[in-house]
Amino acid sequence: MRWVLYPVAALTALVTLGLATLAAISILAWPNLPSLEVLTDYRPRVPLRIYTADGHLISEFGEERRSVVKIEDVPPILKHAILAAEDERFYEHPGIDPIGIARAALANLTSGGRGQGASTITMQVARNFFLSREKTYNRKLYEILLALKIERNLSKDQILELYINQIYLGQRAYGFSAAARAYFGKPLSEISLAEAAMLAGLPKAPSAYNPIANPSRATLRQHYVLRRMVEAGFSDNASYQKALKEPLRTQTGSVARNGGNSTPMHGDYVAEMARQIAVEQFGEEAYQLGIKIVTTITRDDQEAAYAALRKGVMDYDRRHGYRGPERFVELPQGADGEALDDILADSSDHDDLLAAVVLEASPSGVKVFRRGETYDITGDGLRFAAPMLSEKSPQGRRVRRGAVIRIRSTEKQGWEIVQLPEVEAALVSVDPHTGAVRALVGGFDFNSNKYNHVTQAQRQPGSSFKPFIYSAGLERGYSPGTLIEDEPLYFPAGVTGSQAWEPKNYDGKFAGLMTLREALARSKNMASIRLLQNITPDYAQDYIGRFGFDPARNPPYLTMALGAGSATPWEMATAYSVFANGGYRIDPYIVKEIHDGNGKLIAKIDPPVAGESAPRVIDPRNAWLMDSMLQDVVRRGTGARARSLNRGDIAGKTGTTNDYLDAWFCGYSPNLVAISWMGFSQPKNMGRGETGGAAALPIWINYMRAALKGVPEKSLARPEGLLSAPVADGSLEDFHYAENEPPALKPEPDWLEQLFSSHTPALEAPEEAIPPVAPAPKPAPRPVPQMQPPAPVVDRMPTPIRR
C-alpha cells in the first residue's frame, strides 16, 4: 500500500507545485495585461465604400474588407455552425474550456508536438486583438489570462459579436458578413445551412479551406462542421442530409475580389475620383473609418456609357486591322494545364477581352487554352485575325503556336479573336440643371490606363468649339439668318508674321453666301473665321469665359474659330449645359453625399440650380437661338447620324482636329448633356476619315439611346424679345433679337479682296486645318487680328495610383 501512496503523493505534490507556480505567474502577469478599451470601444477597420445614387456598390478601398453586423442580426444557423466548429460550450465555460485543454494536452503529448491549442472563441478574440499566432506556452498563458479578463468585462453575446466581425476569413474578408458576400454574393441574412457551415469552417485555415481556391478541401471541412452541428444538437439529421446535397455556387475569382458584388459596376474612374476626394478630406484614415460616399451617377446610365464607349472603341479598332499577337512564348510539347496557366499569369484579362495561349493555328481554325480549358475558334471568329493566319503574314505578327492572344465570347459566333485597343475614348454625361454627373468613363480600361481623359486630358476641341464663337456673334448683333461668305481665305507670311496660312473646309468646297445657321450646320471653317474677325478674337476670348473655359488656354487669334485652344470633356460638358438649360452656368460634380462609419450624414452637396441659384451667363434668347441652330446640325448637318434616335429635341456639334488627332461629339437633350471624345493618349493621327461624326458620334448615340429611353421629348420655351424676319436673300425667315435690325450681310474688309484675287483653293483638307502660326512681329499693312495657335496639346501621363 505504501508503494502505491508514494507515487500518488509525488504526483499530487508536482501538480500542487505547478498550480502554485502558475498562480504566482498569473498574479504577477495580471496587472500587466493590456487594457480592454479596444474591445469595449470597438472600432473596426471598415473600408471606404463608393456607391451610385441609386444604392449600388461601385468599389471599396482598404486593406480589410469588412461589414460590421450586430449579434441580433446574425442568423441562428451561422451562430450554431460557428459554435459547433470552434467552441461548443462557449455559453457555459468562463473563457477557457478545461475539458478542451485537457484533450488537446493529451493529444499533444501523444504526438510529441503542439498541434492542438484548444482555443475557445474568447481566447481567439484575445489572440486576434492582442497577441501573435506563435505557438508557445508563454503566449498560451497570456491568451488564457486575457480570455478570463475579457469574460469578466464583456457578455457572451458581446464577445461573439466581436469574433464574428473581426476574424479573418480569406479573400481580404474580415468578419462573416464580408465573407458571405465575398464567397456567395449574399448578405448574411440570406445564407443557407450549407453556406453557413462552409463559412464556419474557414477560421481554422482560411487559405486551406477557401471554397474558391480549394473547393475539395473546403467541402471536406464543411461536412465536418455539419456533422458536428448534429452531434451538438444544433441541427437535425434531415437538415444535415439536405445540406450535404446542396450545390454551392461560389463567386468567380474576379467577383470575389470585387467584394462579392456579383454584377460589378464599371465605375472605376468614378470610384477613383471619389477616393481622391475622401483622402483629401480625411487623409489615410479614410480607408478604415467606414466612410460611405454616394456619387451622383446612376447604375443604368453608367453601364450604358461603359457599353457604348467599349463598342465605339472596338469598332474603331476593327476598322484599322489586327496588329498580331501580344507576345510569343516557348510552348513545349505535352505542356500541362498548370504550366500553361503559369504562362498566362502575366496577361491579365480586361473585362471580356480574355488572355489565351495558342496551341494550334491554321487559316481554318485556332485552338487556344485558358484556365484549364481549350477552345476551338473557327469561321467568323477568325475573320478579324485572318490576315495574320496566312503563311504570307510577317513572322513576328503571325498567329501560331505559342502566341498569346485575346479572345472574346459572342452570342452570334461563339469565340472570336480580338485585341486590346490602343486608341482611347471618354464619355461624360451631366444633368444640365444641377451639374450632377450621370455617367463618366475616363478611358477604355481603367486597369490598363488610369489616366482620366474626362477630367485630365486637355485636347483641341476643333469644330465642337464653334458654337461658342457663334454665340458671341449673336451678342454682337448677328443672327442665325445673317448672311456670311464661305469663300477662300489666305493670310501671307507678312500678315501672320510667320508662315502663310491658308485655312480650308473639310470637303475643299466653298458655297459662297450662306446663313450663319447653315454655316454652323455644315461646319464651314471660312464662315467661322470671318465671323470671329468681325467680332474680334479679344471679345470672343473674354466671352467664352462665361461658359467655364479658361481664356488662357484659348488665345485671341483667328485660329480660335477652329477650336485651336484646349479643353477637357468635363469643361465641354459644363459649356454645353449653358445651351441646354437656357443660359445658366452650372458646375458638374460627382459626389452627392458623404456618411461616416455610423451612417451619419456628414456632408451633402447643395449645387447651384439653373433657373434658381445658378448665375445666368448668356441671354435666354441667345441660348434659344443656339439650341435651334445646334438642332439643325443634327437634322441636316455634320451630326445627322443622331437622327437615328428619332427625337426632335437633340442638339449638338461634331469636332475633328487637324490630322485627325481628336474626334468629338458634344450634344444634349434639354435634360441631359453628353460629351464623347476619341483619340490617342499621346496624340497621333487616328486615320483618314476618323472624324467626330465617324468616331465619336456613334458612342454618343449608343449612350443616349439607352439614357433617353422612355424619356418624353422636351423643348426650350421661346423667350420674349425675338422677332422673325426674312434673311437677306429672301429664301427663308429666321429669328433675331427684337432690338437689332433684320439680318443682313456683314461687309468684309476691303483688304481681303486683294488677298483673294490670286488664290486657288485646295481640293480637300481636314475639317479644321490649324497651322503652326507664330505671333506677328511686324505690323500688318491693315488692322488684321494676329493669329497663333497654342503649342500642340500633349497629355502628360500621371504616375500610376497605388491602391
What is the grid cell recorded at 540?
Answer: 470672343
- Are residues 576 and 667 in contact, defined by beta-carbon separation less than 8 angstroms? yes
Q: Which residues contact 742 (CB under 8 A, 6 or more apart)?
A: 481, 725, 726, 736
What phi and psi, each to the nearest 5 degrees, are found at residue 437?
-75, 125
How buried is 588 (Cβ within 10 angstroms: 0-12 exposed, 13-18 middle, 19+ buried)?
A: buried
DSSP string, 644-699: GG--SS-EEEEEE-GGG-EEEEEEEETTEEEEEEEE-SS-----TT--IIIIIHHH
- The whole-angstrom separation of Cα 358 and Cα 305 is 33
Q: How far is CA 134 from the centre of its chain?
A: 42
Query: For residue 755, what are the contacts with CB-CB under 8 A and spacing of at least 6?
Result: 489, 490, 491, 492, 495
Active site residues: 86, 463
Write down the H helix ranges in 42-114.
76-86, 98-111
Q: How many CA atoms lie within 13 A of 411 on its CB side?
A: 0
Q: Which residues contact 48 (CB under 8 A, 6 or more apart)?
A: 60, 61, 62, 275, 278, 286, 287, 289, 290, 291, 293
Which of 620, 618, 652 lies closest to 637, judged by CA?
652
Query: Residue 202 corresponds to which amino acid?
Result: L
Question: Which residues 6+ apart lie within 8 Å of 145 measured at CB?
Answer: 26, 29, 30, 33
Grouping H, G, I as helix, E, B as strand and the rest as coil, residue 173 is strand
**Furthest CA-CA distance within the chain:** 138
424 neighbors 596 (Cβ within 8 angstroms): no
Q: Give the Cα separation of 199 and 56 in Å (integer).
A: 25
The secondary structure of the chain in percent helix, strand, coil, rounded to multiples of 5, reads 40, 15, 45
d(CA 515, CA 701): 28
